[in-house]
């Protein structure tokens, strides 16, 4: 048992520092992906809510595809496909140019596309849940379009969307482990490296699992605080 | 039958080349892709069914169990829902390798030696956690009067569950269960990382040999078809099983 704990120590003999670095990269990846995915999700939600039939169809197609594909497949398509596409494009400019896609960027793009598909559903439901009268009242008060969104629509949308977005975030956090397959040194990858050297797969993968559990535990604390804040002007059933 | 299938295959390849796809690639890997689809379906089917069997006692332990049992069931589902499936798969597949001697002693090594079995085992544990939550949610949406009425009629608790509580709970949980099947189809791609030649595994193999992006697009289409079929079937299933709840449709 003590030997195993020593394997987790920080320093030349232990894997503690490597695993911690991997864990930080996992968090970074998730945090960078979050705004990308939400921005895509918001754009797709607005498209699906628009009057144009074409835009609605595009939005629906986007959601169907990226919710239906395995995340691993999306990652490979973005990583290898992006590499080939960019190399071909660069080939038109400079003869024989070769472009390597950065794995981190590929990870952010792939996970962002998936998060965009899932969050668009949440955001669409939230947009539709804000009554039309709110916007009408805002314009009656003389608020501009942007002010209406910022002061009237958004605070209400936010409250309704938060629980769904919190789910999306938890899924994203777990999906980041997939990027280890394209050799990003995230938590999962560092753990695998440690396993390769120490031959202690059960122990190290269990540690990795526990770190993911800590992350989701922390996330739920943050999200319940955010939810409390977002619904501070709203009395719920049950009086809480 | 045989020549007919051959003709069908040739016609298909001709069509592929007609719309500008790589027919040569398809003739080399096409059948392997079908095998991959079959392996994926097996992975998903077995895991969902075994997971459902495991989910039932877990859900009932959550609702009816005492302090200890319900907490144990909660911890189980918290662990499997809170950690990535990839980590769980590695934990079991590589972890089993570490305990090879002990597993041989109790006569289970033959099972864990095979990557496919490990994948089914991990996916089963994982989906059992999600399915038990769905079932628990279904049970807890029912008003307590349902159980009280059953007991007033003199039904034993087990019988009340079988005849009254579970059928209603499953009806409530039908839609989320469909989502879980779709999630499982997508998640099954993870099996390819531990050398299972499911659809994803075959695709990666074909890509590593041909360096043609087209194989990923085939895989994408095949996965989308599978997901879409499940979605449609589930819509029919739900309309049929919940037809007493649909008033205005």
Domains of chain B: 28-240 (1.10.3720.10)
Tell me whether A73 touches chain B (CB under 8 Å).
yes
Residue A205: closest C-alpha in chain B: B91
Neighbouring residues of B148: CB distance < 8 A, sequence distance ≥ 6: none
B210 CA: distance to closest CA in chain A (Å): 13
**B-chain residues near A175 (CB < 8 A):** 84
The verdict on A238 touching B (C-beta cutoff 8 Å) is no
The structural domains of chain A, ordered by start, are: 2-230 (1.10.3720.10)
Q: Using the beta-carbon criterion (under 8 Å), do B189 and A72 form an inter-chain contact?
A: yes
Tell me which chain B residues have a C-beta less than 8 angstroms from the C-beta of A77: 213, 216-217, 220
Least confident stretch, A15-24, A96-105, A112-121, B58-67: A96-105
The answer to whether B78 contacts A64, with C-beta atoms less than 8 Å apart, is no
**Could you give the ipTM of this predicted complex?**
0.88
d(CA A68, CA B226): 9
The per-residue pLDDT for B20 is: 65
* Residue that has been written with the tokens 């309309």 in this structure: B239
- State yes or no: pLDDT of A152 exceeds 70: yes
- Chain A nearest C-alpha distance from B89 (Å): 9
- What average pLDDT values come out for chain B (249 residues) when binned by 10 residues? 72 68 76 92 97 95 91 95 95 92 89 94 97 93 90 91 91 90 95 94 91 88 94 90 67
Token duo for residue A73: 């497949």
pLDDT at position B249: 45
- Does B223 sit within 8 Å of A69, measured CB to CB? yes
Contact A199 B98 (CB under 8 A): yes
- Stretch A98-105: mean pLDDT: 85
In chain B, whose CA is at the least distance from the CA of A72? Answer: B189
Predicted confidence band of residue A177 (pLDDT cuts 50, 70, 90): very high
pLDDT tier, A2 (very low <50, low <70, confident <90, very high otherwise): low
Q: Which two tokens mark B203? A: 């695709």
State whether A68 and B227 contact (CB < 8 Å).
yes
Q: Angle at the Cα of B58 (from B53 to B61), degrees rounded to 5?
A: 135
Residue A47: Cβ-neighbour burial (10 angstroms; 0-12, 13-18, 19+)? buried
pTM, rounded to two decimals: 0.89
Give tens-digit pLDDT for A36-68.
Answer: 999 999 999 989 988 899 999 999 999 999 999
Residue A240: is its pLDDT beyond 60?
Answer: no
């Amino acid at each position: 048992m003590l030997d195993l704990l020593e394997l987790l120590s920080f320093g030349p003999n232990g894997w503690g520092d490597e695993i911690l670095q991997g864990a930080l990269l996992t968090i970074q990846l998730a945090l960078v992906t979050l705004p990308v995915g939400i921005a895509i999700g918001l754009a797709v939600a607005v498209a699906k809510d628009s009057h144009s039939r074409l835009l609605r169809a595009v939005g629906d197609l986007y959601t169907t595809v990226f919710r239906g594909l395995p995340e691993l497949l999306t990652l490979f398509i973005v990583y290898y496909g992006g590499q080939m596409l960019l190399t071909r494009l660069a080939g038109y400019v400079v003869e024989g140019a070769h472009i390597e896609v950065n794995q981190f960027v590929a990870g952010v793009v792939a996970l962002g596309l998936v998060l965009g598909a899932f969050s668009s559903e949440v955001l669409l439901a939230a947009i539709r849940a804000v009554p039309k009268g709110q916007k009408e009242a805002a314009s009656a008060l003389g608020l501009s379009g942007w002010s209406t969104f910022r002061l009237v629509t958004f605070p209400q949308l936010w409250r309704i969307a938060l629980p769904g977005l919190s789910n999306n975030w938890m899924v994203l956090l777990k999906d980041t482990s997939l990027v280890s397959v394209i050799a990003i040194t995230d938590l999962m990858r560092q753990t695998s490296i440690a396993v390769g050297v120490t031959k202690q797969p059960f122990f190290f993968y269990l540690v990795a699992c526990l770190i993911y559990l800590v992350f989701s535990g922390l996330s739920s604390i943050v999200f319940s605080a955010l939810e409390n804040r977002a619904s501070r002007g709203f009395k719920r059933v049950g009086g809480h | 039958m045989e020549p007919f299938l051959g003709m069908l295959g040739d016609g298909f390849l001709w069509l592929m080349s007609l719309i500008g796809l790589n027919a040569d690639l398809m003739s080399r890997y096409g059948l392997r892709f079908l095998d991959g689809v079959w392996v994926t379906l097996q992975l998903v089917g077995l895991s969902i069914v075994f997971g459902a069997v495991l989910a039932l006692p877990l859900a009932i332990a959550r609702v009816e169990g005492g302090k200890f049992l319900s907490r144990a069931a909660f911890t189980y589902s918290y662990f499997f829902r809170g950690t990535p499936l990839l980590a769980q798969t590695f934990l079991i597949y590589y972890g089993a390798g570490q305990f090879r001697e002990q597993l041989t002693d109790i006569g289970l090594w033959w099972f864990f030696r095979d990557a496919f079995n490990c994948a089914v085992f991990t996916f089963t544990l994982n989906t059992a956690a999600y399915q038990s939550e769905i079932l628990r949610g279904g049970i807890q949406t029912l008003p307590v009067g349902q159980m009280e009425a059953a007991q007033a009629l003199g039904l034993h608790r087990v019988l009340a569950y079988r005849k009254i509580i579970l059928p209603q709970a499953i009806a409530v949980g039908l839609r989320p269960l469909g989502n879980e099947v779709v999630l499982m189809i997508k998640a099954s791609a993870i099996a390819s990382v531990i050398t299972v030649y499911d659809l994803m595994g075959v695709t990666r193999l074909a890509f590593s040999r041909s360096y043609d992006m087209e194989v990923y697009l085939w895989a994408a289409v095949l996965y989308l078809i599978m997901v879409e079929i499940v979605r449609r079937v589930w819509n029919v299933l739900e309309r049929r099983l919940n037809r007493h709840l649909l008033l205005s449709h």
